[in-house]
Structure 1
Amino acid sequence: MASKTSKKEKRDEAAATAVVSMPFLVKLLEDHRDALSKEFKSAMTSLEAKLDFVQETVTDHGNRLTSLEANANHLSDKMEELEAKCAAMEGSYNKLKAKAIDLESRSRRNNIRITGLPESIEGARPTDFFSRLLVELLGDQVLTTAPELDRAHRALTIKPSPGSRPRAVIARIHHFRTKELIIQEARKRRGKLFFQGKPVAIFEDYCPEIVEQRAAYREEQ
């Protein structure tokens, strides 16, 4: 009898404990759920703020890229415009340069260049001296009279020191045919013209650009 009573008391005690524990457990679960909900909401709020910041950053970068692309396109258009202008200017420059070379060449058409003559031998009247010198170099059979010179002078460079290579003489022959005769005869006697025992040469007086072109042409041959 006592054993049955003890068992019954234990069952009643367990039931009472279960009845008492359920509200506690429910409350505990609700508290835990509320805590989790708050943490979730806080995390979501923080995440949303970060996403908003990222979105703003992406939008700002997108706007900047759009602006940079527009500027790049504008600069590209400007570059194309400048390249076209530069090409046009280069074409005009080349035409003007060619005309300038042609005009300078025409102005030198009657000139001859004499190399190998010692400095200062011409004295105070260079045109008279070099006119007579041409007859002496080429002979009176080629030049029956002293050719008329419009002017004669040394190349416009610094006067060399004694013993150095003398400057060339540039002489303008008044008559073109006489100038051509002098050049033709000088070519025939190249290496055979001497003054005071020193070799002398007579050439066309080309402008520097023509000299460079002729040198480049000879190198290609």
Structure 2
Amino acid sequence: MQRMEAAWESRWEHVTQEVLHLGSRIQGLEDTKDQNEDRVLALEQQVSAHSKYFTLLRRDLDDVDNRGRRNNLRIRGFPEPQGPSEDIPALLRTLFNPLLQRPLEAPLLFDRAHRALRAKGAPSSAPRDIICRLHYYVDKERILMASRKTDLQDRMGNSLQVFPDLSWSTLQARRALRPLTQILQERQIRYRWGYPFSLTTVIDGESFFVSSPEDIPPLTSALGVTPLSIPDWFAIPSMIQNTGQVRPQRSRWQTPVKRRKPPQRPSDSPLSQLPTTPSSCG
């Protein structure tokens, strides 16, 4: 019995030490887990703050881009000539001067005027837009307002359209709000776009201002429609949204290694093959 008790005591002492060791390890894991949770919470707060700053930065950048395009107009529908070049300023004068009730040859100052910067398509494809920058902002506004009241056509009878030249981000944001603008158009409710990007409308004497997805629920509630699921057009770039594919990376260009000629032995040198003659200038 004494030997059995001694054996059991030694075993229990060993088990007790293992349990204490496991308890200390579990306590360490729990402490590490609490520290990781605190770190993850801090990272989530930091990422949320960075997301807000990123959104504000994109808004400001888009605003700067649009303000740099304030004097620009985009004309759609002008057929492209078959020749290598065309006089776009003269072509635009014949279009804009009648809108401004001026003679056809009246001077109209352009800072620049060109086709959209992309490759020319096939003859059957749609012509590239013409983008022009007028020197005076007043002329641009008068042309834009007059074009909204007139059905524009060129000399060949092709229908033309004149738009303000907007940044790509603003166009994507307007495209994201298309479900909302379609409801407003169906109900014949007037709305207007503002700078920086915003949508303003009046319903039953109450003004609504939409500049972010958080401003949409009050407007849909006033319209009496179900809430619209519209993503944040500034927080998530449309080019990477809803795409799980990774763009393939190009292999880095490297300078081709020049072949090194093997060193020539003195006997293989071309000079060594020449006949040895006494020097004439000795």
Q: TM-score, length-normalised on structure 2?
A: 0.56
Residues 100 and 199 of structure 1: CA distance in aligned 2, closer, same or farther (over 3 Å): same
Residues 99 and 143 of structure 1: CA distance in aligned 2, closer, same or farther (over 3 Å): farther
On the 8 A contact 1:126/1:152 being kept in 2, the answer is no
CA deviations over 1:84-136 (Å, ceiling 9, x no partner): 3222222222222111111111101010001112235796464533433423x
- The equivalent position to 2:29 in structure 1, one of 55, 68, 88, is 68
- Partner Cα separation in structure 1 for residue 100 and residue 66 of structure 2: 30
Which structure's residues are more often helix, by fraction?
Answer: 1
Residues 169 and 141 of structure 1: CA distance in aligned 2, closer, same or farther (over 3 Å): closer
Q: Which residue of 2 aligns with 1:134?
A: 95
Residues 93 and 140 of structure 1: CA distance in aligned 2, closer, same or farther (over 3 Å): closer
- Partner Cα separation in structure 1 for residue 117 and residue 30 of structure 2: 57
Higher mean C-alpha displacement, 167-176 vs 144-153: 144-153
- Partner Cα separation in structure 1 for residue 88 and residue 53 of structure 2: 40
Q: TM-score, length-normalised on structure 1?
A: 0.69
Q: Which residue of 1 aligns with 2:9?
A: 48
2:94 is aligned with 1:149: no
Percentage of pairs with the same residue: 28
For 2:27, what is the secondary structure of its paired residue? helix
The one-letter amino acid of 1:118's match is: P
Residues 207 and 59 of structure 1: CA distance in aligned 2, closer, same or farther (over 3 Å): same
On the 8 A contact 1:113/1:202 being kept in 2, the answer is yes
Residues 127 and 51 of structure 1: CA distance in aligned 2, closer, same or farther (over 3 Å): same
CA deviations over 1:127-149 (Å, ceiling 9, x no partner): 533433423xx626634424211
Residues 218 and 142 of structure 1: CA distance in aligned 2, closer, same or farther (over 3 Å): farther
Q: What is the count of residue pairs matched by the alignment?
A: 179
Bigger relative contact order (CA 8 A; separation at least 6):
1
Residues 67 and 85 of structure 1: CA distance in aligned 2, closer, same or farther (over 3 Å): same
| Unmatched runs of 5 consecutive residues or more in structure 1 | 1-36
Q: CA deviation at 1:195?
A: 4.7
Root mean square deviation of aligned Cα: 2.6
On the 8 A contact 2:66/2:167 being kept in 1, the answer is yes
- The equivalent position to 1:207 in structure 2, one of 167, 186, 189, is 167
2:74 is aligned with 1:119: no
On the 8 A contact 1:110/1:176 being kept in 2, the answer is yes
Q: CA deviation at 1:156?
A: 2.3
| Unmatched runs of 5 consecutive residues or more in structure 2 | 185-282
